[in-house]
Amino acid sequence: MTIRIKYEFADTLHSSESSMLDHIAAAYLTADGANSPHTVAEALATMTDAELARECIEGFGLSESDDRCDDYDKTAGMLHMEFNGYSIGDLAAAMGRFREEAASSTT
C-alpha cells in the first residue's frame, strides 16, 4: 500500500508548504544544479514569477494525477497541487522568493 505524505517533493519531506514550494522553485530553475548561473539569470530576466510557475507546473507534472497511489488510498488520483493545497499563485510566490535570493546573492 502506498501512502502519500503532505509536503513531499522529489522524495524529500518538508515541514511546511513554503519549504516545499521553495524546493520546487529552486529545483525547477536550477534543473537540480544542471543549469548554469547564466541560464538561471536569463530565465529570471525574461519571465515573470507567474510564467515560471506555470512552466514549472507543466514541466514537473504537478497538475497531473498521481498514479503511484493504489485504490485503497483516498488520495489516489489527486493532483500534487490539490493534495498539498497550493495554487499557482503560491508557487509564483516561491519563484519570487528565489528571484529575491538570487538577486541578493549577486550583489
pLDDT tens digits for range 30-39 = 999 999 999 9
Q: Is residue 1 part of a domain?
A: no
Q: Is residue 17 part of a domain?
A: yes
Report the predicted TM-score, pTM, of the whole model to 2 decimal places. Answer: 0.86
Sign of CA pseudo-dihedral 4, 6, 7, 12: negative
Q: Is residue 32 part of a domain?
A: yes
59: Cβ contacts below 8 Å, ≥ 6 apart: 28
Q: Is residue 5 part of a domain?
A: no
Domain count, the chain: 1
The closest alpha carbon to 101, from 25, 8, 46, belongs to 25
The closest alpha carbon to 24, from 103, 101, 90, belongs to 90
Q: What is the pLDDT of residues 6-30, one digit of tens each?
A: 898 988 999 999 999 999 999 999 9
Q: Is residue 41 part of a domain?
A: yes
Q: Which domain holds residue 24?
A: 12-105
